[in-house]
Amino acid sequence: MTDIDFNLNEDKMRLAVDELKSKLQKVYLGGGQKKIDSEHKKGKLIARERIEYLIDKNSNFIELGALTGDEMYAEQGGCPSGGVVAVIGFVSGRQCMIVANDATVKAGAWFPITGKKNLRAQEIAMENRLPVIYLVDSAGVFLPMQDEIFPDKENFGRVFRNNAKLSSIGVPQIAAIMGSCVAGGAYLPIMSDESLIVEGTGSIFLAGPYLVKAAIGETVDKETLGGAETQTALSGVCDYKVKDDKECLDTIKKLIDKYGRFETAGFDRIKAKKPKLNEKDIYGIYSFATAKPYDVRDIIKRIADDSEFTEYKEDYGQTIVCAYARIEGWSVGIVANQRSVVKNKKGEVQIGGVIYSDSADKAARFIMLCNQKKIPLLFLQDVTGFMVGSRSENNGIIKDGAKMVNAVANSTVPKFTVIIGNSYGAGNYAMCGKAYDPRLIIAWPGAKIAVMGGDQAANTILQIEVAALEAKGKQFSDEEKQKILNDIKDHYNKTITPYYAAARLWVDAVIDPLETRKWISMGIEAANNAPVEKFNVGVLQT
CB of 507 closer than 8 Å to CB of 419:
yes
State mean pLDDT over 102-126.
96
Q: Comparing C-alpha atoms, which of 50, 107, 45 is closest to residue 76?
A: 107
Q: Comparing C-alpha atoms, which of 281, 398, 298, 401 is closest to residue 340?
A: 298
Lowest mean pLDDT among 167-171, 273-277, 469-473: 469-473
Measured at the CA of 468, the angle between CA 467 and CA 472, to 5 degrees, comes to 110
The size of the chain, in residues, is 542
| DSSP one-letter string for 299-351 | HHTTTSGGG-EEEESTTSSTTEEEEEEEETTEEEEEEEE--S-EE-TTS-EE-
pLDDT at 394: 64
The whole-chain average pLDDT of the chain stands at 92
Higher-scoring residue by pLDDT: 332, 349: 332
pLDDT at 146: 87
CB of 201 closer than 8 Å to CB of 103:
no
State mean pLDDT over 364-387.
95
The secondary structure element, H or E, covering residue 101 is strand 94-101
Higher-scoring residue by pLDDT: 187, 366: 366
Strand 440-443 relative to strand 94-101, pairing: unpaired
Q: Comparing C-alpha atoms, which of 19, 114, 117, 127 is closest to residue 63?
A: 117
Residue 264: CB partners within 8 Å, gap ≥ 6?
528, 529, 531
| 465/362 Cα distance (integer angstroms) | 41
Position 457 pLDDT exceeds 80:
no
| 357/318 Cα distance (integer angstroms) | 11
pTM of structure: 0.93
CB of 177 closer than 8 Å to CB of 192:
no
Position 363 pLDDT exceeds 90:
yes
pLDDT at 453: 72
Position 289 pLDDT exceeds 90:
no
State mean pLDDT over 373-393.
88
State mean pLDDT over 478-495.
82
Higher-scoring residue by pLDDT: 221, 63: 63
pLDDT at 348: 77
pLDDT at 227: 93
Burial (0-12, 13-18, 19+ Cβ within 10 Å), 168: exposed
> What is the 3 state secondary structure string of 36-67?
HHHHHHCCCCCHHHHHHHHCCCCCCEEEECCC
pLDDT at 131: 97
Q: Comparing C-alpha atoms, which of 457, 449, 454, 440 is closest to residue 422?
A: 449
State mean pLDDT over 476-487.
80
Measured at the CA of 330, the angle between CA 63 and CA 268, to 5 degrees, comes to 130
Q: Per-residue pLDDT tens for 529-541?
A: 999 988 876 555 5
| Angstrom distances, CA of residue 247 to CA of 181, 243, 259 | 19, 6, 19
Burial (0-12, 13-18, 19+ Cβ within 10 Å), 250: middle
Q: Per-residue pLDDT tens for 144-183?
A: 898 888 888 888 889 999 999 999 999 999 999 999 998 7
Q: Comparing C-alpha atoms, which of 504, 465, 290, 272 is closest to residue 385?
A: 290
pLDDT at 403: 92
Count of helices and strands (H, E) across the chain: 21, 20
Name beta bridge partners: 422.
448
